[in-house]
């Protein structure tokens, strides 16, 4: 196996889930999203580990992601968080993937397909857009669509959901917006009940709301990023400690590589494409076999990212290439060829930064740092 790999600490993942469970009341279900290959961590392994922790629902974004779980023998309910194409509906139904629905056309596609496969009590969740501006019906149409579902031949409303746009931002406007979204959601649920219909499992809490807004837990929470060990935006460790509800989330992924060569360069030598960096004095440059083809993306070159080698940090120099990048060791570093390099991850692996630190330096979110790792990076699962 190549030296560039993502070590996935399944025990950290399980510990995060157990710690998050401490924030929800007994009887509140948990849905763990394993979409985008479990935020880059490996969907099947994370799904199995989540189910071992008693998680009731898994979630994916595409039918294919759902099939991957089914092919691995996973039998739990699987929610489909995004919409699928008409030609994917049959595969979804055959494999008991539970869609979010919110319009008559999509509802009847699933109704017909369920009938075709003799599934006369097929679960769907009604999605309500209370302000995310993505999928869902308008709150005022929720009761009508619940009626459309209940009038269908083969479907039943197993659940009702909405999604928050700003629950991870703690400025006054965002807090107010989340409150408004939640009020619209609970009102819609009431409207559905007034029609004599059952909204089923009501759920809206993402990571931030799970940790910070217990009143939004309702029947189920859907924490994503925090199960993988990163803060939910402003709802970070410091914020929660101050609030008196501390949590110690452990990063699940450590990204490692090794030094494939050390080259001695004279002052004035340049490194990499475009010659964006030139040595101001004699130095040793380490060549690493990781690049943007692995998900160590090119724009990190500009952010002054450092990597950890034997407990010390060294800067990446020049542009990150597709398959390699270069690191400045300076003179007499004591670093040797084939030494291990830790890009980000758990302290116990020798990491000096997390995916979240890199995200901050590169103006993105931790989600993206782990999710963009490509197939070429083997995921190695350890306890």
Ligand X SMILES: *Cc1c(COP(=O)(O)O)cnc(C)c1O
Listed ranges 69-77, 188-196, 219-227, 331-339: which one lies at the site for ligand X (CB under 6 A): 219-227
Kindly report the CA angle at 361 between 363 and 9, in degrees rounded to 5? 100
Listed ranges 40-48, 64-72, 149-157, 223-231: which one lies at the site for ligand X (CB under 6 A): 223-231
Interactions with ligand X, residue window 29-88 (CB under 6 A): 33, 81
- Near ligand X by CB under 6 A: residue from 4, 16, 62, 207: 207
User: Is residue 218 a contact residue for ligand X (CB under 6 A)?
Assistant: no
Q: What is the DSSP string of 97-116?
A: EEEEE-SHHHHHHHHHHHHH
Closest distance to ligand X from the beta carbon of 371 (Å) = 10
Kindly report the CA angle at 154 between 150 and 160, in degrees rounded to 5? 45
User: Is residue 99 a contact residue for ligand X (CB under 6 A)?
Assistant: no
The CA–CA distances, whole Å, from 143 to 108, 127, 220, 253 equal 17, 11, 21, 43
Closest distance to ligand X from the beta carbon of 295 (Å) = 18
Specify the residue for token string 């940790």. Answer: 211
Distance CA 264, CA 251 (A): 35
Which one is catalytic: 14, 29, 35, 250?
35
In the chain, which residue ranges form alpha helices assigned H by DSSP?
10-21, 35-40, 43-52, 63-71, 89-94, 104-116, 142-151, 172-194, 207-212, 237-243, 355-361, 366-371
How crowded is residue 171: how many other Cβ atoms within 10 Å of its Cβ?
Answer: 10
Binding mask 163-202 for ligand X (x = CB under 6 A): x---------------------------------------
Residue 144 CB contacts under 8 Å (≥ 6 apart), including other chains = none
- Near ligand X by CB under 6 A: residue from 224, 295, 318, 345: 224
Q: Can 39 be counted among the known catalytic residues? A: no
Interactions with ligand X, residue window 245-284 (CB under 6 A): none
Specify the residue for token string 């979010």. Answer: 100
Nearer to ligand X by Cβ, of 224 and 291: the residue is 224
Q: Considering CB under 6 A, how many residues would be counted as binding ligand X?
A: 10
User: Is residue 365 a contact residue for ligand X (CB under 6 A)?
Assistant: no
User: Is residue 131 a contact residue for ligand X (CB under 6 A)?
Assistant: no
Which one is catalytic: 116, 180, 273, 281?
273
Closest distance to ligand X from the beta carbon of 153 (Å) = 27
Q: What is the DSSP string of 43-56?
A: HHHHHHHHHHTT--
Nearer to ligand X by Cβ, of 163 and 306: the residue is 163
* DSSP type of residue 338: T
- Near ligand X by CB under 6 A: residue from 62, 181, 188, 206: 206
Distance CA 133, CA 376 (A): 35
Distance CA 187, CA 183 (A): 6
Q: Give the residue numbers annotated as catalytic, written as ranges.
A: 35, 273
Which residues here bind ligand X, judged by CB under 6 A?
33, 81, 163, 206-207, 222-225, 232
């Amino acid at each position: 196996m190549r030296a560039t790999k993502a070590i996935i600490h399944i025990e950290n993942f399980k510990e995060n889930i157990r710690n998050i469970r401490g924030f929800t009341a007994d009887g509140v279900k948990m849905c763990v999203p394993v979409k985008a290959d479990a935020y880059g961590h490996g969907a099947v392994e994370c799904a199995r580990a989540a189910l071992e922790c008693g998680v009731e629902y898994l979630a994916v974004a595409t039918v294919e992601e759902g099939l991957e779980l089914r092919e691995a023998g996973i039998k739990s309910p699987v929610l489909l968080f995004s919409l699928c194409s008409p030609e994917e509906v049959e595969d979804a139904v055959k494999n008991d993937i539970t869609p979010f629905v919110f319009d008559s056309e999509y509802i009847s596609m699933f109704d017909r397909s369920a009938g075709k496969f003799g599934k006369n009590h097929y679960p769907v969740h009604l999605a309500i857009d209370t302000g995310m501006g993505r999928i869902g019906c308008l709150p005022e149409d929720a009761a009508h669509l619940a009626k459309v579902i209940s009038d269908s031949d083969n479907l039943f409303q197993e659940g009702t959901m909405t999604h928050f746009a700003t629950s991870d931002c703690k400025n006054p406007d965002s807090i107010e917006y989340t409150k408004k979204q939640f009020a619209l959601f609970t009102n819609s649920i009431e409207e559905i009940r007034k029609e004599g219909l059952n909204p089923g499992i009501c759920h809206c809490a993402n990571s931030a709301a799970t940790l910070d807004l217990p009143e939004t837990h309702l029947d189920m929470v859907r924490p994503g990023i925090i199960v993988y060990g990163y803060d939910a935006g402003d709802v970070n460790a410091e914020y929660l400690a101050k609030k008196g509800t501390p949590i110690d989330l452990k990063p699940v992924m450590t990204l490692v590589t090794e030094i494939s060569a050390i080259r001695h360069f004279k002052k004035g030598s340049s490194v990499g494409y475009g010659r964006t960096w030139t040595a101001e004095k004699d130095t040793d440059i380490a060549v690493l076999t990781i690049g943007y083809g692995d998900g160590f993306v090119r724009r990190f070159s500009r952010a002054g990212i450092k990597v950890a080698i034997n407990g010390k940090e060294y800067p990446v120099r020049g542009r990150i290439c597709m398959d390699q990048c270069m690191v400045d060791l300076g003179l007499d570093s004591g670093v040797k060829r084939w030494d291990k390099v830790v890009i980000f991850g758990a302290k116990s692996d020798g990491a000096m930064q997390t995916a979240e630190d890199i995200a901050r330096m590169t103006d993105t979110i931790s989600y993206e740092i782990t999710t963009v790792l490509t197939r070429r990076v083997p995921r190695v699962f350890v306890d």
